[in-house]
Amino acid sequence: MRERVWKIAAGVVLALAIVALLLSIARLLWGRSCTTHARVRAEVAWMGSKILAYRCDTGVFPESLQALTRDDLPLGPYAKQAQLSDSWGRPFYYQVSEPQQRFAFYSLGYDGLPGGKDQDADIVYEGSLAPLPSQEWLERGQPVQAVDCSAYKLTQAEVSELTRLNAEWKRAEAARASAADASGSCRRGTGHKEPAQQASGPAK
């Protein structure tokens, strides 16, 4: 009887060990892409909101995603260069139609190809159009779609204050960069003598 109990217990332990091993393998095979896919969905949502913020602040959509990185705008930059690509390392896709006041913004998913299902499905910003050929995209949808800027609407005083704070931050960043360059120059120059000045006149 005791031997039978031990055999059953050993069988249960072995079964649990096999299940744990299978779960570990599944996490190794699919865990990374699932995590990345969720992260890209968050990136698409965040970047889409920055495109709308740019539109509401300036009155026009950015002509390209690169425009979001400009620091000469009162409330810019809206994004960093590294944020123009998804977590798979591929650039986001962006199209804009100013006359129709709409845009398309999306990532092509895990496989990097249009369409697909599950992890390979395109990740499209809510409210923008799914990836289509350019001409078909321009012809689809209503002629004019209003952009809701209520979430980004600021009073003139708030705009002035944000502009001032942004300008101060940029000046501080420039000062830190300048100080770092100067410090690097000093370190590079340590232990080196200035070359002797060459005589400009004829030797006497």
Structure tokens at 50: 């920055």
**What pLDDT sits at residue 103?**
86
Domain count, the chain: 1
**What pLDDT sits at residue 204?**
43
In a domain, 2, yes or no: no
**What pLDDT sits at residue 168?**
82
**What pLDDT sits at residue 25?**
60
**What pLDDT sits at residue 88?**
92
In a domain, 152, yes or no: yes
**What pLDDT sits at residue 203?**
46
In a domain, 20, yes or no: no
Q: What is the mean pLDDT of each run of 10 residues along the chain (204 residues)?
A: 62 68 59 71 93 90 94 88 93 85 87 83 77 60 61 73 79 82 56 46 46
Print the domain residue range for 163: 33-180
